[in-house]
Amino acid sequence: MRVTVADGRQFLHESSETWDLIYGDAYIGQSVPFHLTTVQFLDEVKRHLNPGGVFALNLAAGLGDPFSQAMYRTVRDRFDAVYLFRVHHAFNALVVATASRENLSSADLLQRGIDLDRTLRFDPPLSALATWRGEVALDTGTIPILTDGYAPVDRLIRLGQDARTPQYTPQ
């Protein structure tokens, strides 16, 4: 694995490479650079994914705040299949998105996790992560899609407040 630490959008814009996985975790305390939250950024991410590749995104507050909900909705707007996994013993949620139109069941995700665990050494194992999948129940009609022209990230992040319980249930 090769890790690059740089402004993600600028790095992708200047690169012609593609990857199987692009991981986004751009939190700086309780702030997020807005240009890493928009549909334009996600389109750039998609351009750099190999066929079958995935974009994974850490949501530090799960889906318990307006920013995380807007980020989740924006990812749903740009990718065909989006999965949400609750990180055990934390508020965090992991969003995994792919351009593949194949929407995998929980059983399919579990089997793929078991297969990958035979060769990969993730902690926790991918098969365990597969069991943490949750169904999302959000009224997206009131949640904004973030764009370069409209991404009020600082207003959506509730500074100084505890994250609420994420709005999804395990499958």
Q: Is residue 27 over pLDDT 80?
A: no
Q: Is residue 162 over pLDDT 60?
A: no
Quote the strand ranges of the chain, DSSP E. 19-24, 49-59, 81-86, 93-98, 133-136, 168-170
Domain ranges of the chain: 8-103+133-156
With cut-offs at 50, 70 and 90, classify the pLDDT of residue 163.
very low
Nearest alpha-carbon partner for 168 in 86, 98, 97: 86
Could you identify the residue written with the tokens 């909900």? Answer: 69
With cut-offs at 50, 70 and 90, classify the pLDDT of residue 158.
low
pLDDT in tens, 104-126: 888 888 888 898 888 888 888 88
Q: What is the C-alpha separation between 67 and 150, in angstroms, rounded?
A: 13
Strands 49-59 and 19-24 turn out to be parallel
Here the tokens at position 117 are 């665990």
Q: Which residue has the higher pLDDT, 97 or 150?
A: 97
CATH superfamily placement of domain 8-103+133-156: Vaccinia Virus protein VP39 (3.40.50.150)
Q: What is the C-alpha separation between 46 and 75, in angstroms, rounded?
A: 11
CA–CA distances in Å: residue 114 to residues 84, 86, 87, 97, 124: 18, 18, 18, 19, 12
Q: Summarize the confidence of residues 49-76 as an average pLDDT.
A: 90
